[in-house]
Amino acid sequence: MADKVIVNWEAREFIEYKKNGGWYCGLALVVIALCALAVFLQQWTFLALVIVAAIALLTYTMRPPRMLHYSLSDKGLSEGNNLHTFDQFKSFGVLNENNHYCIMLVPKKRFGTRLRVYFPETEGEQIVDVFGARLPMEPVKLDMLDRLVRFLRI
């Protein structure tokens, strides 16, 4: 039996925060301070960890977000070639982050990560209706890690 697609849209995979020179200077100061602490304490593995983490953070923050194709069907949410079935989630909520709307899907698994899917405002009502017909809607808030990421503009 063919899978009936209800709605399609494209959106960026995450919100890109603009970083000025002060952000990069602050990162450099933190990295230098942690490296100095590691050298002072002669913790060479910590020094290596700080350097690798700084390189990874710079690489991640300089990468632009990809445009992803999403589609909702009777089976679930398709994100590119990945299918997330509705039975993987216990609820969903809608967030408005800096005028970017997203659906946050709460997993059934205890240690599963919440799936955040951005969508255009024009498709929002139809998308929320499809999720609402299959999952209970709950108010969702950003957790501590999400607030830290937003504060650091990562």
pLDDT digits (tens, 9 = 90+) for 113-131: 888 899 988 888 888 888 8
Residue 2 has pLDDT above 70, yes or no: no
In three-state secondary structure terms, 26 is: helix
DSSP state of 150: H
Neighbour count for residue 143 (Cβ, 10 Å): 10
pTM of the predicted protein model: 0.77
Q: Which of 22, 13, 7, 2 is nearest to 152 (CA)?
A: 22
Predicted pLDDT of residue 80: 83
In three-state secondary structure terms, 114 is: coil
Predicted pLDDT of residue 24: 92
Residue 39 has pLDDT above 90, yes or no: yes
pLDDT mean across residues, the chain:
88
In three-state secondary structure terms, 120 is: coil
Predicted pLDDT of residue 1: 42
Burial group, residue 22, by CB count within 10 angstroms (0-12, 13-18, 19+): exposed
Predicted pLDDT of residue 13: 83
